[in-house]
């Protein structure tokens, strides 16, 4: 059953009460092809190649002027509390396909563009690209879920897009934490 707007609005305080600095990686996922999801315990990530075996290298939704994949969208992180509102493990509805889930408060105020996140050797930089949800989000989770995300861009309810700064391996269950936020102007 798709969430309705009153339920989503009522859950907003809980979503915004998520941890601000530390979490754990859950549901590591890569997308080998359109509509496909592969859940794994480990994922290799590189600044040059993105998430190993992910379709990003062949079919990115954002490209640079030269046609190559935009590195600002290499990794997607969806907040755990938002995912819990729209998707349940075992549902017939497809998992959104984000690289991983983390119980983070992902607002611009808490994690402005340029914020660095670290897990093991991997360092990710929060992108300036806003994840506004796509038509697939609307089809899977409903128009209320789409509007809920889009009506509050500063809260980044759909999650974070990130660029890989340091190569390494993401591990399911491993800690991830904010290591640096950009200086406020």
**What's the pLDDT tens digit per position in 15-41?**
999 999 999 999 898 888 887 888 899
pLDDT (tens digit per residue) in 87-132 = 776 666 566 778 999 999 999 999 999 999 999 999 999 999 988 7
CA 145 to chain centre: 16
What span, in angstroms and rounded, lies between the C-alpha atoms of 144 and 158? 13
Whether residue 8 contacts residue 155, with contact meaning beta carbons closer than 8 Å, is answered with no
Q: What is the pLDDT of residue 96?
A: 74
Closest CA to 30 of 20, 18, 17, 45: 45
Is the confidence at residue 185, as pLDDT, over 60? no
* Bigger pLDDT: 171 vs 138: 171
Whether 11 shows a pLDDT value over 70: the answer reads yes
pLDDT of residue 90: 63
Q: 87: which 2 tokens?
A: 């998707």
Q: Which residue has the higher pLDDT, 183 or 125?
A: 125
Mean pLDDT of the chain: 90
The yes-or-no verdict on residue 81 having pLDDT over 90 is yes
In sequence order, what are the beta bridge partners of 118? Answer: 123, 177
């Amino acid at each position: 059953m798709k969430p309705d707007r009153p339920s989503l609005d009522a859950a907003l305080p809980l979503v915004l009460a998520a941890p601000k600095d530390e979490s754990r990686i859950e549901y590591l996922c890569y997308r080998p092809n359109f509509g496909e999801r592969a859940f794994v315990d480990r994922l290799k990530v590189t600044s040059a190649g993105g998430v190993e075996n992910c379709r990003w290298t062949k079919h990115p939704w954002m490209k640079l002027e030269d046609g190559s994949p935009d590195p600002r969208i290499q990794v997607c992180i969806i907040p755990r509390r938002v995912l819990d509102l729209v998707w349940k493990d075992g549902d017939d509805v497809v998992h959104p396909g984000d690289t991983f889930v983390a119980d983070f408060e992902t607002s611009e105020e808490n994690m402005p563009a340029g914020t660095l996140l670290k897990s093991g050797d991997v360092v990710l930089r929060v992108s300036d690209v806003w994840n506004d949800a796509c038509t697939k989000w609307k089809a899977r989770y409903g128009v209320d879920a789409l509007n809920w995300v889009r009506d509050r861009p500063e809260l980044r309810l759909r999650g974070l897009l990130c660029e890989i700064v340091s190569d390494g391996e993401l591990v399911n269950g491993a800690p991830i934490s904010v290591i640096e936020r950009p200086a406020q102007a």
